[in-house]
Amino acid sequence: MIRLYRSLVATEVLLWIAVAWTGASAGHSGEAMALHLRLALLGTLFAAVVHTLPFFFLMGSFYWLKACVQQAEGDPAWLVRHKRWVASPALPSLLGAALATVALALSGGLLSEGRASAGTHAAVALAALLVHVYAAACVPPQMRRITALLGEVRACLPPADELIARSRSPAARAADPTFGRPLRSLLTLAPQPMLLWLYLRYGTDGLGAPAWPFLLASLALVLWALRYRHRAAEAALGAPPR
């Protein structure tokens, strides 16, 4: 996972360099500017995917540990050790990478409208690139530490058949926090359509789009997640199907 994340960040940095190169050499050429906008849109979407992956890993591993503590009578100190990543620079760097991407798109939109200078857009682009590189430096150590913790936990777990027997009981399934994992994953993805709309509205020239389709997509993800949570809880408690 760490190697994958670093490879994706390296690809992202190369993509942003290509975006900067096309923007600097575009001048007044409409075709060159269109290429710059297309690459910028691709870079924005790619950055959103890249910096969402660590959240999936960090949050998913936490709820796996929580299930181990509840169902396998594990050590609650595992959760405390896992939560240390929240106080590390990893969390603000990931949030900063997302905000820097949005700020970069907004500055590009303001530049196309004549409300910002090219120097301002270039400064925001450089700052965004530095924030992304900083995130790539801060996140992998936390992922490595948590991976080591997961290996330590696996060595302390009871035999697999005993865990399966415990997990099949209705009470254990009802209390299983992993039911909430798809909920949290979908809620993490829910803002992404609105971020895309912000880029199309303020970060491009002539590619504006109405907000309602993107808002409906975000709401659909939220409702899908909540519906899954409700059905999973019913199944765990043995409720009759409707």
State pLDDT tens for residues 34-46. Answer: 888 888 888 888 8
Asked if residue 192 is part of any domain, the answer here is: no
**Please, what is the end-to-end C-alpha distance for the chain in angstroms?**
40
In a domain, 198, yes or no: no
Domain region containing 105:
2-169
Cα-based distances in Å from 62 to 67, 81, 184? 9, 10, 12
Q: Is residue 86 situated within a structural domain?
A: yes
Q: What is the pTM of this model?
A: 0.62
Counted domains in the chain: 1
Angle made by CA atoms 115, 193, 86, in degrees to the nearest 5: 95
pLDDT of residue 240: 36
pLDDT for res 107 = 86
Q: Is residue 153 situated within a structural domain?
A: yes
Residue 134 lies in a domain: yes
**Share of the chain residues as helix, strand and coil, in percent rounded to the nearest 5:** 80, 0, 20
Residue 51 lies in a domain: yes
